[in-house]
Each structure stands twice: as structure tokens, then as C-alpha cells.
Amino acid sequence: MSRTFARETTFKLVFEYAFLKQINPLTLEDFLLLEKITEDDKVYIKQTYSKIASNYDEILALIEKNLKNYTLGRIYKTDLAILILATYEIKFAKDTVPSIVINEAVELSKKYSTDKSFSFVNGVLASIVKEEDADGK
């Protein structure tokens, strides 16, 4: 369908991962059976979900490093899942444009989280992009 739909699907898997701390193959298969998902979407979802799981601690550390007056424990799980997905794409995915990743993360937060979450998500991700640019991504 589209990368936006694939990101939203992956966000839902990451949200579950934040609680279970392991990949749930049953949930993954359920999402991959959705009619709207193309083969390209399936590849993106599987690869992204797997790579987030294998880099989970590093992603959390990068998010935590870029929080201002917050701790990981204070972040709504919804916002955390959005930040995890976007941070993975900013840090590890080679085929993404950070501004698009941030925009889609903001849209996810507007759809699934609180009225103020989108500005929080935007701020944290902007800080991460700035740090990555400084490090020469």
C-alpha cells in the first residue's frame, strides 16, 4: 500500500514489543495477512521490526540521551513506540529522509496519543537528527 501504512503497522508491533520485550511471531503474521499490505510493505515491516528488536537497547539509549527533563519511564508507551520506530529509521535505515520520518512520527502521535504528544515527539526526534548530523550519519 504505502510506506506510511507499513510504518503504522510496524508502530503497532513495536508498541507490543515495548511490553513483551520479544518479537511476537503470531502478531507479526496477523499483520502481514492484512489485505492492504504489499510485498514491499511486508519486507519493510519484517526487516524493521527485526532490526528494532536487535538494536532495542541502543535505540532506547539514544532516545534517553535526547530527553530533556524526562526519563524513559515517564514517556507514554504510545509515544515511546513512535520514538523507537522513528529513531531506528533515523539512526539505522539508509533509505529514509529524516524530515519525512519525523513528519510521519508526528502524524502517528496525533492519531494515537495525546494532544501534546506530537510536539514532544517532534522535539526529541529533532534533537536526535541534530546529534546524528553532528556525528556525520
How many Å apart are CA 79 and CA 113, to the nearest integer?
A: 7
Domains and CATH numbers, the chain: 3-135 (1.10.940.10)
| pLDDT confidence of residue 128 | 96
For residues 91 and 68, give the distance between their C-alpha atoms in angstroms, rounded to a whole number.
19
Grid cell, residue 44, equals 519493510
Sequence-ordered alpha helix ranges (H) in 55-97: 56-65, 77-91
- In this prediction, residue 51 carries a pLDDT of 97
Joined together, the cell numbers standing for residue 34 give 492484512
Query: So what's the pLDDT on residue 35?
Result: 79
**Mean predicted lDDT score pLDDT of the chain:** 93
pLDDT score, position 113: 96
pLDDT-derived band of residue 1, with 50, 70 and 90 as boundaries? low
Q: What is the reported pTM? A: 0.94
| pLDDT tens track for 71-96 | 999 999 999 999 999 999 999 998 89
- Give the per-residue pLDDT at 49: 97
- What is the predicted pLDDT for the residue at 129? 95
- pLDDT the model gives residue 134: 76
Q: What is the pLDDT of residues 32-52, one digit of tens each?
A: 998 788 999 999 999 999 999
